[in-house]
Amino acid sequence: MEADLFLHTDVGTFATGAPQTPTRRSPGDGPGDGLDETSESKKKKTAKVIVTNPALDLENYIVNYSGRTKIERLLLIGDRCPPLAIDALTAALSDLRATLDFNKYVAVHAKLNAALQLAGKPEVPLDHAWVENAKRVYKEKLDKLERELKDYKTNLIKESIRMGYNDLGDHYYAGGDLVNTLKSYQRTKDYCTFPKHLLDMNLSVAEVSLELGNFAHVTTYIIKCENSIEAADNKVILSAKLKCISGLVNLDSRKFKLAAKDFLDVDFALGPHFSKVISPNDIATYGGLCALATFDRSELKRKVIDNANFRQYLELEPQIRELLHGFYQSKYALCLKLMSELKNNLYLDLWFNGHVDEIYRDIRRRAQVQYFRPFESVDLNKMAAAFDTPVAALETELAALIASKDINARIDSHNKILRVRTADQRSTIFEKSLSMGTLYQTQVRHTLLRMKLVCADVLVKDPHRDRSDRNGDHRLRQAPSFSGMRGSAADSAIDNDDLMAVDA
């Protein structure tokens, strides 16, 4: 069953540079007030798809993630997949109990009860004791950390101040307050005494900015991390993390080819070390589909299929591996079938859901171009069978490809044949000969004009040369040579005589 589609707009604000002092919350404020910026700050209009027939094993899927990304993925599934909503929201509620984000806990509980009510099931009571305890613990620890930080500043102990800001940032993060988390991490910059400290700060800021959707900020800090990568304890793992973050930024910017290259370069040694952002299965899926949408046949073979490192990722996603090989072997009906099976799951992916239709469209267009390329003419009935598409719909797609100049062909609608548009070689040569003759005629006319001007002494003399002549500095002058037909020899002769001809 096809997923239902309707437009949904996420609106919010980007996180910006940090001010000089922390934003102090009043006792009544909750830690999760900045929490919705994860989705709202992206300021993008995206197509929200409701999946009514999922092919997702929720338990096996979500075990690949940890931290906030696990909760956000569960909430996305709960919002967009009614059949899995209750299970997803229940799991998210359970994971939130491991945090101090009581505002988020209350909001998710309300969503869960709404889903239960819609399904005709009894509602779950809110755990008020946990909420009150989380509020108390959050406030007490926040006050304690701020007092300690104030003491560190009084004593001017740089390392203690740095650690104090880090602890404060970690506490804000546990409460879901990403804005203050970002500010706290950024303030450690002035207190970093070693390159390793600066590297840790840059990576933390990049990760939080990624969650906030501030992708321009992310790019800046990725570059800073790359410039100080020598300070890392494990350069391979850090480099792989940076490639993942860069790939997600390029994916969001719809720079699919750059995203593909980033994901293809992620070392398999990363494993589950970055589960708070992305899983190895995601790397295989994102890298494979972006490559299919943007790589030509030779690139696909060289950079993906023959890539020993990326093959290890593809082992985790057999459908993506089969899709890549099927596309390379021109088994387009198989490719389209596999893509159809994957589509609903991709609509439920945290990072990929807004790009599914565009990437699928690019893959299909590239497949049609690749199918037609070896032939001078193609039977549309056979091509329609290969793509499992009605002939009429295929004609419309091919007309769009011709209009965009992706293929140089004409459609014979009567005979249902697609033919290569071949240029008339005889007419082409004749037009080229006429053009060359016209150019030659113009050059000869200009050369003859210059010769007549010189013979008639219609010249402008160089005043500097006249002065030297009056001082007795006379030299023999060569007569101009007009052996060249482009006028360059005549110009050279006149220049050597320090004279300029007036060209009409």
pLDDT digits (tens, 9 = 90+) for 98-108: 999 999 999 99
And the tokens for 461?
A: 């003399």
From CA 103, how far away is CA 298, in angstroms rounded? 52
Is residue 9 scored above 90 in pLDDT? Answer: no
Same domain for 381 and 369: no
31 and 16 within one domain: yes
- In the chain, how many domains are there? 4
**174 lies in the same domain as 249:** no
pLDDT for 28 equals 40
Orientation of helix 356-372 relative to helix 332-347, angle to 10° = 170
Residue 484 pLDDT > 90: no
Q: Read off the pTM.
A: 0.76
Question: What is the pLDDT, as a whole number, of residue 494?
Answer: 41
261 with 387, same domain: the answer is: no
Domain boundary pick from 420, 443, 478: 420
- The verdict on 266 and 253 lying in the same domain is yes
Quote the tokens at residue 23.
């934003």
Q: Per-residue pLDDT averaged across 49-76, rounded?
A: 94
Residue 323 — pLDDT band, cuts 50, 70, 90?
very high
Distance CA 147, CA 473 (A): 92
Query: Are 332 and 351 found together in one domain?
Result: yes
Residue 41 confidence class, pLDDT cut points 50, 70, 90: very low
Confirm if 97 and 130 have CB atoms less than 8 A apart: yes
- CB contact at 8 A, 47 and 358: no
CATH of residue 165: 1.25.40.570
Q: Is 50 exceeded by the pLDDT of residue 175? A: yes
My answer on whether 449 and 322 are in the same domain is no
81 neighbors 50 (Cβ within 8 angstroms): yes
Give Cβ neighbours of residue 292 (< 8 Å, ≥ 6 apart). Answer: 300, 323, 324, 327, 359, 363, 366
CB 47 within 8 A of CB 7: yes
- CATH number, domain containing residue 413: 1.10.10.10
176 — alpha (psi -120 to 50), left (phi > 0) or beta?
left
Closest CA to 394 of 421, 363, 368, 361: 368
Say which residues have a Cβ less than 8 Å from residue 436's Cβ, sequence separation at least 6.
none
Domain boundary at 199, 231, 263, which? 231
Q: Is residue 370 classed exposed, middle or buried when 0-12, 13-18 and 19+ CB atoms within 10 A define those classes?
A: middle
**Which range, 16-25, 178-187, 330-339, has the best average confidence (pLDDT)?**
178-187
Are 399 and 268 members of one domain? no
Domain co-membership, 36 together with 157 = yes
DSSP state of 303: I
Banded pLDDT at 47 (limits 50, 70, 90): low
Range with top average pLDDT, 11-25, 116-130, 417-431, 475-489 = 116-130
CA distance 103 to 138: 12
Given pLDDT bands bounded at 50, 70 and 90, which one contains residue 423?
A: low
Question: Which sign does the torsion angle of CA 442, 448, 452, 454 carry?
Answer: positive
Backbone dihedral angles phi then psi of residue 320, each to the nearest 5 degrees = -65, -40
pLDDT greater than 50 at residue 204: yes
Query: Would you place residue 373 in the very low, low, confident or very high pLDDT band (cuts 50, 70, 90)?
Result: confident
* pLDDT value at 197 more than 50: yes
| One domain for residues 252 and 175 | no
pLDDT of amino acid 488: 44
User: Over the stretch 429-471, which tens digit does the pLDDT of each residue have?
Assistant: 888 888 999 999 999 999 999 888 888 888 777 666 655 555 5
Nearest to 363 by CA among 346, 380, 350: 346
Instruction: Answer whether 302's CB lies under 8 Å from 328's CB.
Output: no
Instruction: Decide: 260 and 355 in contact? Cβ < 8 Å.
Output: no
Same domain? 91 vs 114:
yes
Nearest to 105 by CA among 177, 39, 32, 34: 32
**pLDDT for the residue 470:** 56
93: Cα separation from own chain's centroid: 32
CA 357 to chain centre: 15
Domain edge (last residue) among 181, 204, 231: 231
Give residue 48's pLDDT. Answer: 80
Confidence of residue 375 (pLDDT cuts 50, 70, 90): confident
Residue indicated by tokens 């988020």: 104
Q: Which two tokens stand for residue 250?
A: 């390029």
pLDDT tier, 406 (very low <50, low <70, confident <90, very high otherwise): confident
Do 214 and 250 share a domain, yes or no?
no
First to last CA, the chain: 76
- Taking the C-alpha atoms of residue 167 and residue 164, their distance in angstroms, rounded to an integer, is 5
Residue 452 sits in which domain range? 425-501
